């Protein structure tokens, strides 16, 4: 809620609230640009004896990333070494955050544990890391203009997941998707970098990054409807279910009916709109970051096609993209990544 001019309280939609974070992150990058004239990575400031520890911490983050997210890890290898290890450090922090509510100890997790995790986050942003992995992230946020808000918001997403298993409307679901996935987009762009020749506004690139996170999460939700229902969770807008003549019981029953197909068609359409929004920003990223981002966008979007190919049975069939299709997507992503912000108009690639 914010106070409007007339003094009364106006309720902000989730989208408006999230856009404020986009503005905050974009402003931080602009400030950094102004004070340094460029966005090259700051040099290492090291105390004697700590350089090895830090590079070991980053290596460990790389190992974790390689172990849990192989394809994503391969994508990071295309980036410059500085950027790559920073992305690993961010990935590891997100994974640890997620594990607090999804990992083996998840049943013992309390809101207090999340408060402690947040206090640790604030410490590391102030240069007081708690452990090695935190030290890697502390170094990253010291070198790249990464705002703390998306990190805090991801923790908020975990709190939301603890207390909520239904979403009344898309506004509520949008906020959840921002917390758990849109935040990742906002954290990544300051590290991936924007092409120096880009004419796009900082805000529009961050908006596209946010859209990719939302699109990925919506896709994830649509793929995992059955699996989530078995855990008593329904990450679908309740009001839209009602409008389609459906209820939670239909989801728990898991029968593909015409009502379900038609409901799913609309949900898929919306997820695709977020992917379309995201596409507008990928070309603006620095050259080395474009290929992995295109690849992940194309691969994740194909999951939606697979849900359709499964005749919308996301109750008992898990939609996945076959290896051959994945391999085909790589050169397509590569071709798209060759389009730079300045080569937009005359590009032959875009016409093919």
Ligand X SMILES: CC(C)=CCC/C(C)=C/CC/C(C)=C/CC/C(C)=C/COP(=O)(O)OP(=O)(O)O
By C-beta, is 158 or 205 nearer to ligand X?
Answer: 205
Three-state SS letters, 118-162:
HHHHHHHHCCCCCCHHHHHHHHHHHHCCCCCHHHHHHHHHHHHHH
Burial zone of 110 (CB within 10 Å; 0-12 exposed, 13-18 middle, 19+ buried): exposed
Residues whose CB falls within 8 Å of the CB of residue 181, separated by 6 or more in sequence, listed in order: 213, 214, 216, 217, 220
Q: Which two tokens stand for residue 175?
A: 């906020």
DSSP 317: -
Q: Is 311 left (phi over 0), alpha (psi -120 to 50) or beta?
A: left
173 binds ligand X (CB under 6 A): no
195 binds ligand X (CB under 6 A): no
Task: Please spell the DSSP secondary structure of 253-307, one letter per residue.
Answer: HT---HHHHHHHHHHHHHHHHHHHHHHHHHTTB-HHHHHHHHHHHHHHHHHHHHH
Helix pair 149-163, 183-192: axis angle to 10 deg: 160
Residues whose CB falls within 8 Å of the CB of residue 272, separated by 6 or more in sequence, listed in order: 215, 301, 304
Report the site for ligand X in 222-281 (rule: CB under 6 A). Answer: 278, 281
> Binder to ligand X among 121, 173, 205, 244 (CB under 6 A)?
205
> Binder to ligand X among 25, 216, 267, 314 (CB under 6 A)?
216
Does residue 191 contact residue 140 with C-beta atoms inside 8 Å? yes
Q: Which stretch binds ligand X (CB under 6 A): 134-142, 196-204, 212-220, 310-318?
A: 212-220
By C-beta, is 33 or 53 nearer to ligand X?
Answer: 33
Does residue 286 contact residue 195 with C-beta atoms inside 8 Å? yes
Closest CA to 296 of 74, 62, 68: 74
> Binder to ligand X among 101, 136, 268, 293 (CB under 6 A)?
293
| Count, residues near ligand X per rule CB under 6 A | 18
> Binder to ligand X among 75, 129, 185, 237 (CB under 6 A)?
185
> Minimum Å distance from CB 293 to ligand X?
5
Closest CA to 159 of 209, 96, 112: 112
By C-beta, is 129 or 182 nearer to ligand X?
Answer: 182
> Minimum Å distance from CB 196 to ligand X?
15
Q: Which stretch binds ligand X (CB under 6 A): 122-130, 160-168, 179-187, 251-259?
A: 179-187
Q: Which residue is nearest to ligand X (CB)?
A: 281
By C-beta, is 216 or 302 nearer to ligand X?
Answer: 216
> Binder to ligand X among 175, 184, 191, 298 (CB under 6 A)?
184
By C-beta, is 149 or 216 nearer to ligand X?
Answer: 216
> Minimum Å distance from CB 205 to ligand X?
5
64 binds ligand X (CB under 6 A): no
285 binds ligand X (CB under 6 A): yes
337 binds ligand X (CB under 6 A): no
> Binder to ligand X among 140, 217, 302, 313 (CB under 6 A)?
217
Does residue 321 contact residue 306 with C-beta atoms inside 8 Å? yes
Q: Which stretch binds ligand X (CB under 6 A): 181-189, 196-204, 234-242, 266-274?
A: 181-189
The binding site for ligand X (CB under 6 A) comprises 181, 184-185, 188-189, 205, 208-209, 212-213, 216-217, 220, 278, 281-282, 285, 293
């Amino acid at each position: 809620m914010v106070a409007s001019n007339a003094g009364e309280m106006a309720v902000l939609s989730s989208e408006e609230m999230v856009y404020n974070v986009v503005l905050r992150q974009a402003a931080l990058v602009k400030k950094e640009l102004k004070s340094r004239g460029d966005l090259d990575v700051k040099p290492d400031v090291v105390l004697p004896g700590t350089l090895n520890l830090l590079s070991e911490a980053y290596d460990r983050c790389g190992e974790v990333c390689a172990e849990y997210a192989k394809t994503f890890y391969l994508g990071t290898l295309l980036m410059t070494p500085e950027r790559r290890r920073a992305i690993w450090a961010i990935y590891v922090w997100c994974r640890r955050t997620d594990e607090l509510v999804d990992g083996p100890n998840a049943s013992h997790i309390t809101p207090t544990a999340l408060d402690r995790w947040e206090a640790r986050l604030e410490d590391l942003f102030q240069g007081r890391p708690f452990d090695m992995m935190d030290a890697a992230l502390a170094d990253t946020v010291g070198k790249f203009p990464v705002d703390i808000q998306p990190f805090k918001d991801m923790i908020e997403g975990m709190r939301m997941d603890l207390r909520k298993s239904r979403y009344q409307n898309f506004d509520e679901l949008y906020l959840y998707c921002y917390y758990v996935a849109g935040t990742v987009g906002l954290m990544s762009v300051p590290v991936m970098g924007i092409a120096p020749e880009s004419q796009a506004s900082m805000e529009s690139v961050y908006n596209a990054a946010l859209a990719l996170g939302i699109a990925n999460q919506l896709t994830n939700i649509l793929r995992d409807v059955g699996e989530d229902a078995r855990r008593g969770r329904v990450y679908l807008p309740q009001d839209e279910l009602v409008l389609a003549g459906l209820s939670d019981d239909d989801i728990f029953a898991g029968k593909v009916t015409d009502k379900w197909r038609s409901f799913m068609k609309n949900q898929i359409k919306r997820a695709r709109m977020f992917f379309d929004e995201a596409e507008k920003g990928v070309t603006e990223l620095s050259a080395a970051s474009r290929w992995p981002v295109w690849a992940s966008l194309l691969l994740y979007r194909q999951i939606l096609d697979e849900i359709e190919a499964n005749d919308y049975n996301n109750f008992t069939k898990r939609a996945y993209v076959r290896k051959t299709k994945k391999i085909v997507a790589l050169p397509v992503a590569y071709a798209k990544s060759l389009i730079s912000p300045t080569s937009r108009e005359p590009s032959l690639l875009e016409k093919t």
